[in-house]
Amino acid sequence: MTDSLKSIIIVFLLIIGLLIDQKIEYYGQTITNIVTWLFFLHLLKKGERVVQISLILCLFYATAGELFLSLVWGLYEYRLYNVPLFVPPGHALLFTLGILLAPKVPHWFVVAVPLITAFYVIFAFLSGLDTMGGILFLTFLICIVFGKAKKLYATMFILSLILEIYGTALGNWTWKMSVPVLGLTTTNPPVSAGAFYCLLDLLVVFSIDRTVGKKPS
């Protein structure tokens, strides 16, 4: 399977999977769970050792992150008040898409993404619309400045923003406007939600570098 075809399939699964989950009652989420896991397992079986390790690590970190952010902290809620089984492998698929697309983006993209986003983040923070966004944006900047896979983080920030807008628009999940415990404000979705994805990718990249001595570019 070529990288282009793999990218197309991942985009298709993410778009159609979320739509099916939301629109088809009773069985929609089950269908999305099965299809997402089947393609994830296909990538896992066909991938090289580094790819396999990346997918497993991403699945592990994503599962832990989802359980904490949604069920423990309560930053957002899924429509059935659970963590759908397709979500952790979905993170791995989005990570794979980022890996495939990141080498194709120009170098200026790494600077342009945080620079353009900064204008909105500053406005949202000062106006009180999204005070949580300031913290998330600083997290994203740390990943960009100190992380080794800068193109990947910038790419994932945009991909995750698109996915967040799509998923919340459909109603698959909803972000709380008032951040639990911290008392900060945010939007549905926060523009800087990609920072969580970047942290996930940073953990995966760091773990790969430590275990096999290779990292995504």
- Mean pLDDT over 182-186 rounds to 94
Q: Do residues 175 and 188 make contact, with C-beta atoms less than 8 angstroms apart?
A: yes
pLDDT in tens, 5-31: 999 999 999 999 999 999 998 899 999
The yes-or-no verdict on residue 130 having pLDDT over 70 is yes
pLDDT in tens, 141-177: 999 998 888 999 999 999 999 999 999 999 999 999 9
- Mean pLDDT over 104-112 rounds to 96
What was the pLDDT predicted at 214? 53
Mean pLDDT over all residues of the chain?
93
* Beta-carbon count within 10 A of 104 CB: 11
pTM: predicted TM-score of the whole model, two decimal places: 0.93
Give the chain's radius of gyration (CA, Å).
Answer: 17
User: What CA–CA distance (Å, rounded) separates 151 from 148?
Assistant: 9
What was the pLDDT predicted at 118? 96
- Mean pLDDT over 97-121 rounds to 96
The yes-or-no verdict on residue 217 having pLDDT over 80 is no
CB neighbour burial string for 152-189, b if at least 16 within 10 angstroms, e if fewer: bbbbbbbbbbebbeebbeeebbebeeebeeeebbbbeb
The yes-or-no verdict on residue 216 having pLDDT over 70 is no
What was the pLDDT predicted at 213? 61
The yes-or-no verdict on residue 32 having pLDDT over 90 is yes
The yes-or-no verdict on residue 66 having pLDDT over 60 is yes
- The ranges assigned to domains in the chain are 3-211
